[in-house]
Amino acid sequence: MQRPVVPGLGKLQEAISWFVAEDQGRRFVLHSGGDVGFESLLVLDQQDSLAVVGMANFADEEKSKVNEFVNIAIRIMLGRPATPAATAVAQPTGAPANTEEAKQKADDILAAYVTALGGRTALEKINSRTAKGNFETIGLALSGPAEMFAKAPNKLLAVLQLPGQGTLKDGFDGTVGWGQDPDDGLVEKTGLELGTAMRDADFYQPLKLRQQYPNLVYKGSVKIALSKADGKQGEPRDLFALEAPRNGRPRSFYFDPRNGLLVRSEEKNANGEIDSAEEYDDYREVDGAKVPFVIHHLEKFHIIIKLTEVKQNAAIDDEVFAKPKQ
């Protein structure tokens, strides 16, 4: 049951009901569980007959600390420095000396991004997009067809089909942001989540990031290990980091200095912890504009969408984006 058979989340390997990880020459076997209001994690180090279990009851809006607690406990018991389990992004280096320089550097990076996508003229010639492909959920036996629809000025819809289980939908109809899944049903977005949905639904967002985030600044160069197509992490790469403060809950954008393309965006909470992230890879040119054909959504789960077909300026009825009835 503990023999790895498929890749799991991040550096994990998935066995039968167990996940397996190796760290500094040691082999750990683990499994987590939870639902609304509680969470648990069990980690075994069979080499030293060591087991650590963490259990927590917490309010729904709070960030769980179970993973960090278990990681620190293991390190203490093994006589290692008690550092947190994982820091997704290192601290940027080489930030400009003042805000004006940081804004100007950010504008230069944004301009290079537009050029890398094909240029303003090419982007403005396109007013809609449809895409088809497949998705898989790393660490879970969930996969199926995926479809994406986008239409100017600000309509967006993503649909993931779960064979035999229902459909996941996430959309913005020009005014209302909403999500729908078999467990929670239909949920309308509010607050910060709605604001993010509204900005991301803007069909010409690459041309408007400065307008969307007036205080967007360059934070420096940072090393990040981005996800590969199989869900594993690649080698750390130097990226340009841009950040919008957003009342203490910043949103960050990371660009590849080699080609100018956006490769990651993320949202942080008031404690500076990452709530969710998107990574973009395998950009291909379609009708003069580049589109990422691989999209990683990292939140509670790691979902990978791999597109096989993208059509620009496709006819899409507005009703496609409408929030479903209750």
Residues 245 and 149 in one domain: yes
Residues 69 and 214 in one domain: no
Distance CA 221, CA 224 (A): 10
pTM of the model: 0.74
Residue 272 placed within a domain: yes
Residues 208 and 69 in one domain: no
What does each of the 326 residues of the chain score in pLDDT, given as a tens digit? Answer: 888 887 766 567 888 888 888 766 678 898 888 777 788 889 998 777 889 999 988 644 445 578 778 888 887 787 754 433 333 445 677 778 788 999 999 999 999 999 999 999 999 999 999 999 999 988 777 899 999 999 999 999 999 998 877 899 999 999 999 999 888 899 999 988 899 999 999 999 999 999 999 999 999 999 999 999 888 888 999 999 999 988 778 999 999 999 999 999 999 887 777 888 999 999 999 999 999 999 999 987 889 999 999 999 999 999 999 998 87
pLDDT at 85: 32
Residue 126 placed within a domain: yes
Distance CA 267, CA 269 (A): 7
Residue 153 placed within a domain: yes
Q: Which of 115, 69, 82, 59 is closest to 262 using CA atoms?
A: 115
Residues 127 and 12 in one domain: no
Residue 82 placed within a domain: no
- The count of domains in the chain is 2
Residues 197 and 279 in one domain: yes
Beta pairing partners, 99 = none
pLDDT at 10: 58
| Burial classification of residue 281, based on how many CB atoms lie within 10 Å of its CB (0-12 exposed, 13-18 middle, 19 or more buried) | buried
Residues 129 and 30 in one domain: no
Residues 56 and 106 in one domain: no
Spell out the residues 6+ positions from residue 263 whose beta carbon is closer than 8 angstroms to its own.
226, 239, 254, 255, 256, 279, 280, 281
Residues 120 and 261 in one domain: yes
Span 112-142, pLDDT tens digits: 999 999 999 999 999 999 999 999 988 777 8
Distance CA 186, CA 206 (A): 29
Residues 59 and 171 in one domain: no
Query: Is the preceding peptide bond at 206 cis, omega within 30 degrees of 0?
Result: no
CATH of the domain at 176: 2.50.20.10
| Burial classification of residue 231, based on how many CB atoms lie within 10 Å of its CB (0-12 exposed, 13-18 middle, 19 or more buried) | buried
Residues 134 and 191 in one domain: yes
Residue 1 placed within a domain: no
Q: Which domain holds residue 127?
A: 99-321
Residues 151 and 51 in one domain: no
Residues 60 and 130 in one domain: no
Residue 112 placed within a domain: yes
Residue 326 placed within a domain: no
Given a contact cutoff of 8 angstroms between Cβ atoms, the answer to whether 220 and 94 are in contact is: yes
Spell out the residues 6+ positions from residue 62 whose beta carbon is closer than 8 angstroms to its own.
none
Residue 305 placed within a domain: yes
